[in-house]
Amino acid sequence: MKRHFADYLFRSYRKRKAVNSTMYLVLIVATLIALVPLFSIFGYVLAQGAPALNKSFFLELPKPVGEAGGGMANAILGTVTLVFLASLLGVPWGIATGLYLSEYGRGRLASVVRFCADMLASIPSIIIGLFVYALVVMTMKRFSALAGGLALGILMIPTVARSSEEMLKLVPQHIREAGLALGLPRWKVTLMIVLKGIRGPIVTGVMLSVARASGETAPLLFTAFNNRFWQGRLDQPISSLPVQIYTYAISPYDDWHRQAWAGALILVLLVFAMNLITRVVLAPKARKS
């Protein structure tokens, strides 16, 4: 065969190869640069926060203004409580919405719901805090753990819903058909076979939204407010790490600044731990089965 293009192809091959290597290098550098903020934040928080960590930080209440020492025990417990309350609302609601969108959601209603979920996800969290303030705090006439949990829960719904929907859509249609062909009603197929089959990935989505919610400050400022003491009933104000960090960070006292850093470190570690647990403990299981 006569070769019309051989020379051209060879020359352009060398050029393409050069472009390819350059672009590859550019991508690696860009990736490394993207990691810089993460590691510098973590390094800085670690350096600033670690010295202030001690036993009393984990076990004691904040000391009154002017007294040194004390800790954030109530804030740590408060954050756990708030995130628990939020998950109680956000997780089942979010998964239910995801189930609707993926299993039944066709036509206009579904696209409206999908659009609304995306809108809700992009509403600034402080607005959600304001909304809950107007709805719950004004009605109950006080700040409360419940209001804080509600605000964080609302925040979680759209992310849980959309991530569940995406995971559910990855389950092939013929799995559902196999369930239906066994003479099982659709809801059983959906809950016991489809959802069960992807519980790993769903939990991953949930954990990411929990991690997100546990760091939110703005929606808590005028819902859960803050509390210098151990939390009482759920209809009373409650302390939380983000709000406590905020309060301490804007104070004029060095000791409080140190504690704010320590709080920040704990919060970061908490979120890291959740991500890590999700990835290490849950993900491989989901892959194996």
Partner 1 sequence: MSAIMEVSGLNAWFGAAQAVKEINLSFEKNTVTAIIGPSGCGKSTFIRCLNRLHEEVPDARAIGRVLLEGDDIYGRGVDPVAIRRKIGMVFQKPNPFPSLSVFDNVAVGLRLGGLRRASILKEAVERSLTLSALWDEVKDKLNAPGTSLSGGQQQRLCIARALAVEPSILLMDEPTSALDPISTAKIEELVTELKKAVTIVMVTHNMQQAARISDKTAFFLLGDMVEYGETSRIFTAPKDSRTERYITGRFG
**Residues found near partner 1 in the complex (CB under 8 A):** 106, 171-172, 174-186, 188, 192-193, 196-200, 286, 288-289
Residue 221's contacts (CB-CB under 8 Å, 6 or more residues apart) are: 126, 129, 243, 246
Residue closer to partner 1, measured from CB, 73 or 184: 184
CB of 179 to partner 1, least distance (A): 7
CB of 195 to partner 1, least distance (A): 10
Inter-residue contact 202 to 167 (CB < 8 Å): yes
CB of 118 to partner 1, least distance (A): 23
Residue closer to partner 1, measured from CB, 29 or 191: 191
Residue closer to partner 1, measured from CB, 106 or 141: 106
CB of 201 to partner 1, least distance (A): 11
Rounded CA separation 256/261 (Å): 9
3-class SS at 62?
strand
CB of 174 to partner 1, least distance (A): 5
Residue closer to partner 1, measured from CB, 138 or 170: 170
Residue closer to partner 1, measured from CB, 171 or 213: 171
CB of 171 to partner 1, least distance (A): 8
Which residue from 242, 170, 156, 154 is spatially nearest to 205, judged by alpha carbons?
A: 156
What is the chain's Cα-based Rg? 25
Residue 91's contacts (CB-CB under 8 Å, 6 or more residues apart) are: 156, 160, 206
Please provide the DSSP assignment of 246-286 as one string.
Answer: HHHHTSS-HHHHHHHHHHHHHHHHHHHHHHHHIIIIIHHHH
Which residue from 212, 267, 265 is spatially nearest to 239, judged by alpha carbons?
A: 267
Residue closer to partner 1, measured from CB, 122 or 289: 289
DSSP state of 212: H
